[in-house]
């Protein structure tokens, strides 16, 4: 694990007509770094997402995690009980793709005002955020995107508009998708549809599947945590950002 010294804070970004909270972690000291946008699960910008944001900062990036539920539930964060999942899903269905993309773009725009930020922008998302990361890959400024077990990419839209899969031809960066083969939320057929769409659109991509790993396998605070799959995926994410952010 990197031992790079970092600082953290929560700031407010103007996004449309709201003030959007964004958790920021960045390396200490002088110099500039690439920005990486971190997209939450249905559980909000909770301890796990803050930890991931800090881990990315320790790798030498300015990492920013916008509160994607702020329009529905300001300050929301929760754990992983069945009741927590129900509440998180309730807020998820209230989101809209246009607002999610606007919030991510506002976070990118803010990052680019920081003297510590220069160069290309990366993105990583988990669960709900994995689906949103697929959407974020259509933004021109996202050059390297890691999407973890994003359910609903093939058949669910956030609000009016096309499902994420239909937006695939708009992706211009490099996209890596991570799935567990034991994930009941994402059937093998859906992974196959995603692979086919990416190939047909000539998107620079890779799809990684992990035998025995279920939904949420990267999160060490969930019962579905799969340490071997999580460790391998983390190395692949670091390689993606190192190679594609320049």
* Active site residue ranges: 127, 183, 215
CA atoms in the 13 A half-sphere facing the CB of 61: 27
**Are β-strands 18-27 and 6-15 bridged in parallel, bridged antiparallel, or unpaired?**
antiparallel
- By C-alpha distance, which of 123, 115, 112 is closest to 241? 123
Sheet of 62-66, strand order: 6-15, 18-27, 62-66, 33-39, 117-126, 142-148, 174-180, 204-210
Q: What is the DSSP code (8-state) at residue 38?
A: E
Within 10 Å of residue 119's Cβ, how many Cβ atoms?
13
* Residues present in the chain in total: 246
Cα 205 from Cα 169, distance rounded (Å): 12
CA 49, chain centre distance (Å): 10
């Amino acid at each position: 694990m990197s031992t790079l010294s970092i600082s953290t804070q929560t700031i407010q970004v103007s996004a449309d007509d709201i003030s959007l909270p964004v958790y920021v972690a960045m390396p200490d000291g002088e110099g500039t770094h690439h920005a990486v946008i971190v997209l939450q699960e249905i559980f909000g910008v909770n301890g796990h997402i803050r930890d991931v944001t800090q881990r990315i900062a320790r790798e030498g990036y300015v990492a920013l995690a916008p509160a994607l539920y702020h329009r529905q539930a300001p300050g929301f964060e929760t754990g992983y009980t069945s009741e927590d999942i129900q509440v998180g899903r309730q807020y998820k269905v209230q989101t809209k793709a246009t607002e999610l993309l606007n919030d991510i773009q506002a976070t990118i725009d803010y990052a680019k005002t920081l003297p510590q930020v220069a160069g290309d922008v990366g993105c990583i998302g988990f669960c709900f955020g994995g689906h949103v990361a697929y959407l974020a890959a259509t933004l021109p400024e996202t050059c390297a995107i890691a999407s973890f077990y994003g359910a609903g990419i093939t058949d669910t839209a956030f609000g009016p508009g096309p499902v994420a899969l239909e937006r695939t031809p708009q992706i211009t960066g490099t996209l890596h998708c991570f799935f567990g083969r034991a994930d009941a939320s994402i059937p093998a057929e859906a992974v196959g549809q995603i692979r086919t769409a990416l190939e047909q659109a000539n998107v620079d991509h890779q799809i990684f599947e992990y035998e025995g790993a279920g939904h949420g396998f990267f999160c060490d605070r969930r019962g579905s945590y799969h340490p071997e799959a999580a460790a391998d995926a983390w190395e692949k994410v670091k390689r993606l950002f190192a190679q594609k952010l320049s």
